[in-house]
Structure 1
Amino acid sequence: MELAPVDLDPNTRAFYVRTLAVLNEADAPFLVGGAYAFAKYTGIERHTKDLDVFVLRRDRDLVLQTLAAAGYRTEVSFPHWLAKAFSDDGFIDVIYGAGNGVAEVDDEWFDHASDGEILGVPVKLCPAEEMIWSKGYIQERERFDGADVAHLLRSCGESLDWTRLIGRFGDHWRVLFAHLVTFGFIYPAERDRIPGWVIRRFLAKLGDELENSSMQEGVCFGTLLSREQYLADTGRWGYHDARLRPLGRMSPEEVAHWTAAIADPTG
């Protein structure tokens, strides 16, 4: 299946083809995610304003140097997860983590990548499990990726590596479980796309918590779902921000930078 969004401007198309060719010639491996990978897994095509390229954190600078040498303007927009490369015809996101500090790109993304073709260029695509992992946390007021998760589950549920997916969420298993419960509401006749043992495992975990409560007091994990909607919790009400070390992976400076960008519609 060749992946190409409808209504793609010819200049943008040429920009994407050139960018992928430049990256394919580089020494650093990369994956394509976003709308292109989503289209392969679900069949749902949509126009997007950019191309999402996923790389290992250690390869970020090599990728940016490669693009700069090809004439692109580059910047590290948010050091903890995102860089960008621009030309007059478009831009790409160079992603190596997540805004909340959770879904960092590692070797496992590449070990389980799938083959695809974008605009005639062979590429590797982000695995469906990692797409669910990263999208599962995006629950902003202005952007909620729950429908994307539901569509990925509907299309790939029977072929997912569920053990690996559950491991990705780890202690945040409630986030995944919430999506699975909602999936059963959205598609009542297709609940069997989620293996029964997965639901039973999460129900057992809930039961264990009821019997053996081990609550983390004074912590708000809502900031992992929205960078804006839980600011009152970590500010006015004094909850610890779960993005911050040692619970999370972010520093106070990274959180402040990411929070300041709320006011910027391009951030």
Structure 2
Amino acid sequence: MKPIEPVPTSHPVDESNAAIATFYREVLQTLNAASVPYLIGGAYAFNRYTEVNRPTKDLDIFIRRNDFERIREVVQEAGYECELTYPHWLGKVHFEGVYIDLIFSSGNAIAEVDDAWFEHAAPGEVLGVPVRICPAEEMIWSKAFIMEKERFDGADIAHLIRARSAQLDWPRLFRRFEPHWRVLLSHLILFGFVYPAHRDLVPSAIMDELIERLRQETHSEPPDTRLCLGTLLSREQYLNDIERQGLQDGRVAPVGKMTPEDTAQWTQAISDDHEPD
């Protein structure tokens, strides 16, 4: 069956609060005026690709890590506070209790924003401001690892595949998941479960390659390692394995891209996020 093709929209996901909308618009206009490269992600991008409209509490701007200091400079000159919240993946622009996320990787440090994000970005509009939208492939890649107890982005991935399968650069998406191809396979299997009549939207060559890899692994000896990659999927649910059972944290170098200081700060944020507002 053919994919469901959404009509590109310029309608914002949520501009019910005029002050917040003005804040978002002014920051975007400031970045445009300074010719600083950035991309829009989150609910705005999701709506652009799928026509699934949902409210959002913030605006997600994706940037290269080496552009952060320049962005902080221009937004501070415009009168907004800006901080490097988590050095391994995230900064924030603040305005009266509202914020914009400046994202240059993912919480597990896997989905780093590189040049390819910009090369394959799509045109769009947010609050009347011309912008560029994160590629659907990179959205799937970064969302695929979000499997927290309180949040699972699998439905977003299923909606993106259903809406954009014909336009997806499947080989590039496949390469993004190396060496974590099992994560991609898990989502593609779930897609066929969620949308039985649309199973053919996933190219058979992709499924064949992934299943053949799985077959080969099944018939080979498991690696002799105490590695736990569960921490790439959830910052909280595999801490017992790391802290009490002594397994190796898959986020930390040389296996992952994070430092012990990064993981400690990111773990501390769990209790901070669970505190009442």
Q: With structure 1 as the length reference, what TM-score do the two structures score?
A: 0.97
Sort the Cα spacing of 1:69 and 1:20 in 2 relative to 1 into closer, same or farther, 3 A: same
Distance 2:227 2:243 in 1: 12
Structure 2: 5+ residue stretches without partners: 1-8
Structure-to-structure mapping, 1:238-253, within 5 angstroms: 238-253=246-261
1:228 corresponding residue in structure 2: 236
**Counterpart secondary structure, 1:2:** coil
Aligned with residue 96 of structure 2, among 88, 113, 131: 88
Distance 1:137 1:36 in 2: 20
Aligned with residue 37 of structure 2, among 29, 35, 50: 29
Amino acid at match of 2:169: D
1:127 corresponding residue in structure 2: 135
2:63 corresponding residue in structure 1: 55
Structure-to-structure mapping, 1:204-223, within 5 angstroms: 204-215=212-223, 217-223=225-231
Q: Are positions 1:256 and 2:264 aligned together?
A: yes
| Number of residues of Structure 1 aligned to a counterpart in Structure 2 | 267
Amino acid at match of 1:210: T
Sort the Cα spacing of 1:84 and 1:216 in 2 relative to 1 into closer, same or farther, 3 A: farther
Q: Is the 8 A contact 1:53 1:95 kept in 2?
A: yes
Structure-to-structure mapping, 1:54-73, within 5 angstroms: 54-73=62-81
Return the offset for 1:211. 3.0
Q: Is the 8 A contact 1:8 1:47 kept in 2?
A: no
Distance 2:137 2:15 in 1: 29
Distance 1:240 1:89 in 2: 38
Return the offset for 1:214. 4.9
Q: Are positions 1:8 and 2:16 aligned together?
A: yes
Runs of 4+ in structure 1 over 4 Å off: none
Q: Which is worse superposed, 24-33 or 217-226?
A: 24-33
Per-residue Cα deviation, 1:54-73 (whole angstroms, up to 9, x for no partner): 10011011111111110001
Sort the Cα spacing of 1:71 and 1:145 in 2 relative to 1 into closer, same or farther, 3 A: same
Structure 1: 5+ residue stretches without partners: none
Aligned with residue 205 of structure 2, among 197, 211, 218: 197
Sort the Cα spacing of 1:125 and 1:192 in 2 relative to 1 into closer, same or farther, 3 A: same
Return the offset for 1:215. 2.1
Distance 1:81 1:132 in 2: 17
Aligned with residue 173 of structure 1, among 178, 181, 184: 181
Amino acid at match of 1:215: P
Distance 1:25 1:174 in 2: 42
Q: Is the 8 A contact 2:141 2:177 kept in 1?
A: yes
Q: Is the 8 A contact 1:42 1:152 kept in 2?
A: yes
**Counterpart secondary structure, 1:170:** coil
Q: Is the 8 A contact 2:14 2:56 kept in 1?
A: no
Amino acid at match of 2:66: R
Sort the Cα spacing of 1:266 and 1:119 in 2 relative to 1 into closer, same or farther, 3 A: farther
- Greater relative contact order (Cα 8 A, min sep 6): structure 1 or 2? 2
Aligned sequence identity (%)? 49
**Counterpart secondary structure, 1:171:** coil
Per-residue Cα deviation, 1:142-164 (whole angstroms, up to 9, x for no partner): 11111111111111122210100
Return the offset for 1:212. 3.2
Return the offset for 1:266. 7.6
Q: Is the 8 A contact 1:3 1:116 kept in 2?
A: no
**Counterpart secondary structure, 2:179:** helix
Q: Is the 8 A contact 2:82 2:94 kept in 1?
A: yes
Per-residue Cα deviation, 1:180-217 (whole angstroms, up to 9, x for no partner): 00011101111011011111110110112123335252
Distance 2:85 2:272 in 1: 12
Q: Are positions 1:110 and 2:110 aligned together?
A: no
Distance 1:89 1:99 in 2: 22
